[in-house]
Amino acid sequence: MKDLSKATFIEKVGYGFGDMSSSMFWKIFSYYLPFFYSNVFGLSLAHAGTLLLITKLYDAISDPVMGVIADRTQTRWGKYRPYLLWCAIPFGLAGVLTFTTPDAGYAFKHVFAYITYLIMMTAYTAINVPYGAMLGVMTPDSREKTVFSSYRMFFAYAGSFIALAIFEPLQKAFRNIGPQVSAADTWQYSMIVVGSICAVLFILCFAMTRERVKIEVQEAGNSSILKDLKSLVTNGPWWILLGAAIGILLFNSIRGGAAAYYFKDVIGMSAVFSCGIYLAVGEVANMIGVAAAVPLSDRLGKKTAYMLSLLVAAVLSLFILILPVSTPGGLWTLMVLQVLISVATGVTLPLLWSMFADIADYSEYRNSSASTGLIFSSSSMAQKFGGAFGSALILWALAGFGYDTSETAVQTTDAIGGLKAMMSWIPALGAFIAAGVVAFYPLTTSRMKEISAALAARRSGQHSGSNA
């Protein structure tokens, strides 16, 4: 019998291209969109915070809907893969619209921001939920899923590095064209470049991958959406990972989103390295963590490796609160901490996606129906919840601390203290919570070997029966 767990190097690279595209947008939106809305687009901190919360909550709720749709899609290309082709160009265009500033009054711009960001989040869901679900049908082997997930996260961080490394230089290059190019124009033009790259990467992902495992789906008369949802909400490991995913996303989104403000008002824009360099170095360090995820999980198990990485990231983040960044030594210590924290968080994300794939197998084992798209959409939903509250908390907290968004403002002691907190102990709480929650995760390495063997026997029997 042909070993379905075998996949080519090209497939793994192609799968990585998908999250390379998503992460280019995700990091720019997470790290720069709050700053763009408050300091370039012209929304108040309160309005910008509420906008990010409402639109991302809508997006989080729409994820399970897309998961249900994808689970019921049947084409010659598979269940999930076609969406990479269909949605690639709309995905890129939506990103450009979101970073477009209309020449209009405040009320119109406020509405425009809601509409364009809702379009962006819809496009992101339509392409990213099926992309994530593909991991469950590219191989039946639990360890091989971790390998696929590591390729995914390696390319994701590579994409994030590229996006963060080129975004500020692109703005500077467009600004140098002449005085006819406004500050708002430079953001839009930069996103045209990034959006074009993202669309091409998803098209390549479609062309280079395939769905290797055929999941037996019950007939519509026996499998309703309500039954799928019931299987999901009674899945204990799913709830555990959902909480962990929200915690780590709070950690990442608050640290990343506060960085632009932190560099502008705590460190100063004339520092030896910029916010873009600081964030880009973090992405390279994330890639090191991703490379370490498979050997660490082989040695310690996914659960233990995940927990230890979270705890390291949380503890190291606490030191930023007392760091004297006004001195060269303090500034370089900040960069060292960024590298170490990013290596630790880089370990966590491939393990998280791999564990969601294990949960899909656990669901199929327990219910005879995987609902893979629905389960993976829940992980995306957790990302959106974490990102929504993280981005909104940044802006609301800044408003509460009395942060002044004007270009030449000198911030108060309270505002500076708030920025330091958002780079240190506030995100660390999210990581501590995630580590505590995942301590109860029951799908250990030995348990997944038992489940994988049982599923292999079941699928083999179904295949034999269908040929009888």
> Cα dist. 151→14, 364, 452 in Å?
9, 25, 22
Name the residue with higher pLDDT: 431 or 381.
431
Kindly tell me if the per-residue pLDDT of 466 is higher than 60. Answer: no
Kindly tell me if the per-residue pLDDT of 435 is higher than 50. Answer: yes
> Which whole number is the average pLDDT over 19-29?
91
Contact 258, 394 (CB under 8 A): yes
Tokens representing residue 276 in the block = 């873009």
Residue 22 parent element (H or E): helix 9-36
Q: Closest Cα to residue 121, out of 52, 195, 55, 65? A: 55
Kindly tell me if the per-residue pLDDT of 83 is higher than 90. Answer: yes
Please provide the average confidence, as pLDDT, over all residues in the chain.
86
177-191 pLDDT, tens digit each = 988 899 999 999 999
Kindly tell me if the per-residue pLDDT of 222 is higher than 50. Answer: no
Task: Report the pLDDT value the prediction gives residue 370, as an integer from 0 to 100.
Answer: 59
Say what percent of the chain tops pLDDT 90: 43
Residue bearing tokens 């309270």: 414
Name the residue with higher pLDDT: 307 or 283.
307
| CA–CA separation, 389 and 57 (whole Å) | 9
SS3 label, residue 407: coil
Q: Tell me, what amino acid is at 52? A: L
Task: Report the pLDDT value the prediction gives residue 379, as an integer from 0 to 100.
Answer: 67
Model confidence at 382, in pLDDT bands (50, 70, 90)? low
228-246 pLDDT, tens digit each = 777 777 888 989 988 888 8
Phi, psi of 75 (to 5 degrees): -140, 170
Q: How many Cβ atoms are within 10 Å of 444's Cβ, its own excluded?
A: 14
Task: Report the pLDDT value the prediction gives residue 273, as an integer from 0 to 100.
Answer: 78
Task: Report the pLDDT value the prediction gives residue 1, as an integer from 0 to 100.
Answer: 40
Task: Report the pLDDT value the prediction gives residue 182, as an integer from 0 to 100.
Answer: 92
Task: Report the pLDDT value the prediction gives residue 123, as an integer from 0 to 100.
Answer: 94
Burial class for 226, CB neighbours closer than 10 Å (0-12, 13-18, 19+): exposed
Contact 203, 14 (CB under 8 A): no
Phi, psi of 78 (to 5 degrees): 115, -170
SS3 label, residue 260: helix
320-356 pLDDT, tens digit each = 999 998 888 889 999 999 999 999 999 998 898 788 8
Tokens representing residue 465 in the block = 């029966």
> Which whole number is the average pLDDT over 281-285?
90
Which positions ≥6 away from 96 have C-beta within 8 Å?
A: 188, 191, 192, 195
Q: Name the most confidently modeled range: 103-117, 236-250, 361-375, 390-404.
A: 103-117
| CA–CA separation, 307 and 194 (whole Å) | 34
Residues, the chain = 468
Task: Report the pLDDT value the prediction gives residue 215, as an integer from 0 to 100.
Answer: 55
Residue bearing tokens 């962990």: 244
Model confidence at 248, in pLDDT bands (50, 70, 90)? confident
Kindly tell me if the per-residue pLDDT of 319 is higher than 50. Answer: yes
Q: Tell me, what amino acid is at 243? A: G
> Which whole number is the average pLDDT over 250-261?
86
The three state secondary structure string of 266-300 is HHCCCCCCCHHHHHHHHHHHHHHHHHHHHHHHHHH
Q: How many Cβ atoms are within 10 Å of 292's Cβ, its own excluded?
A: 18
> Which whole number is the average pLDDT over 75-101?
94
Q: Tell me, what amino acid is at 293? A: A
Q: How many Cβ atoms are within 10 Å of 270's Cβ, its own excluded?
A: 6
| CA–CA separation, 372 and 4 (whole Å) | 17
Q: Nearest 5 degrees, angle CA 85-CA 91-CA 92?
A: 105
Range with lowest mean pLDDT among 152-161, 291-300, 377-386, 411-420: 377-386
Task: Report the pLDDT value the prediction gives residue 146, as an integer from 0 to 100.
Answer: 80
Residue bearing tokens 């919840």: 385
40-50 pLDDT, tens digit each = 999 998 899 88
94-134 pLDDT, tens digit each = 999 999 999 999 999 999 999 999 999 899 989 998 998 88
Model confidence at 307, in pLDDT bands (50, 70, 90)? very high
Kindly tell me if the per-residue pLDDT of 139 is higher than 50. Answer: yes
DSSP state of 71: H
Task: Report the pLDDT value the prediction gives residue 363, as an integer from 0 to 100.
Answer: 84
Task: Report the pLDDT value the prediction gives residue 336, as an integer from 0 to 100.
Answer: 96
Kindly tell me if the per-residue pLDDT of 7 is higher than 70. Answer: yes
> Cα dist. 79→2, 24, 282, 317 in Å?
21, 25, 35, 41
| CA–CA separation, 122 and 126 (whole Å) | 6
Task: Report the pLDDT value the prediction gives residue 408, as an integer from 0 to 100.
Answer: 77
Kindly tell me if the per-residue pLDDT of 217 is higher than 50. Answer: no
Domains of the chain, each with CATH number or no CATH:
11-210+225-455 (1.20.1250.20)
> Which whole number is the average pLDDT over 287-311?
92
Task: Report the pLDDT value the prediction gives residue 468, as an integer from 0 to 100.
Answer: 44
